[in-house]
Amino acid sequence: MKEETIHIAGRICHIVSDDREAQCVIVKPLGEFERLLLVNECERIKQLSDVPFTMFAFEVTEQDLREEGVEQTFNFMISELIPELKRHFPTLPYILGGYSLGGLFALWSATKTATFHAIASCSPSLWVDGWNEYAESHPVMAKAVYLSLGNKEANTKKGKFACVAERVSTQHQRHTDLLGAACCKLEINEGGHFTDIELRKAKGFAWCLEATAQNGR
């Protein structure tokens, strides 16, 4: 797979694709810790799914995904990035996903827009204050949702993080009730929060690609 870099509205965006004609567009916020392994992540997605895709990953800082910056990040994605993508891919389905705070961003974004057919929320930071209350009254607008968590994350006793397993499970049940079991998946992986991150994201995006291909647009 090949990678190129462009600027959209002053933000650096990475495009990863191969010679196949894309059937889906993957969109993701790209944290600093992910940048060097982006192509490797896409290669893993390709190994797990035969559905051709193009990925657009836009660079973010941690602050961009926290309360002080998340609205601005969302507005960039919807008002700048998506219109640019639709110039090139006007009819393709879009998938949004991320890891940790990026996973939270993906889920939260899906409650604010129906732009995305599927959501891959991997080890999402659902421990943030107020998430349960927000999610109860703001259902996702996507057609398919993938959630994952590490089994050691689920067993943590560390302060505010101790609720993450219960919240991820509850969130999965919300999706199941809303969309049906066939359109939702919760996968528990071996290890803690920082174990096999690229593989975990790849599994999430691959599932979303397959769900999008099977369930239509």
* Domains of the chain and CATH, by start: 2-215 (3.40.50.1820)
Mean pLDDT of 119-142: 96
Better-predicted residue by pLDDT, 65 or 33:
65
Query: How many Å apart are CA 217 and CA 40, to the nearest integer?
Result: 27
Rounded distance between C-alpha atoms, residue 185 and residue 197, angstroms? 18
> Hey, what amino acid is at 128?
V
Look over the chain and give the mean of its residue pLDDT values, rounded to a whole number: 95
Distance (Å) of CA 178 to CA 93, 118, 143, 213: 20, 14, 9, 20
Average the pLDDT over 167-193 and give the result: 95
Q: How confident is the model at residue 156 (pLDDT cuts 50, 70, 90)?
A: confident
Q: Model confidence at 5, in pLDDT bands (50, 70, 90)?
A: very high
Q: Which of 88-97, 148-157, 179-188 has the lowest mean pLDDT?
A: 148-157
The dihedral region occupied by 211, where left means phi > 0, alpha psi between -120 and 50, and beta the remainder, is: alpha
How confident is the model at residue 216, as a pLDDT? 58
CA 16 centroid distance within chain: 16
> What is the pLDDT at residue 59?
98
Mean pLDDT of 164-169: 94
Map 172-213 to HEC letters: HHHHHHHHCHHHEEEEEECCCCCCCHHHHHHHHHHHHHHHHH
CA distances from residue 146 to 64, 124, 159, 198 in whole angstroms, order as listed: 23, 11, 26, 15
Q: Is the pLDDT higher at 67 or at 153?
A: 67
